[in-house]
Structure 1
Amino acid sequence: MSGAALPPSPQGLREKLFTAGYIADEDVASLVWMALSLERPVLLEGEAGV
């Protein structure tokens, strides 16, 4: 979403992701939306691909 405006809600982000071919549940969309709005990275732990 480089250069694009951040949607006003996690649901709006979820819809934009869906139109781009990505599937995100409500939790993932909320997490990504918060990270983008706060301009902070998302730190994940665990095995790759899980």
Structure 2
Amino acid sequence: MKRADRKGYPSDVSDEEWSFAAPYLTLMDVTAPQRKYELRDMFDALRWMARAGA
């Protein structure tokens, strides 16, 4: 699901936070398989899990 296809949540990472974190998370080799889910959505999910204690 593309990011534009889903509604945002108040807990989602802001554009400013994402611009800080993205360079560290996108160090993937060009020849690596492509991701199934948007990296930003996965980052939001991990932040939620850490905050909720899931």
TM-score between both structures, scaled by the size of structure 2: 0.34
Structure with more helix by fraction: 2
Larger radius of gyration: 2
- Structure ranking higher on relative contact order (CA contacts 8 Å, 6+ apart): 2
TM-score between both structures, scaled by the size of structure 1: 0.36
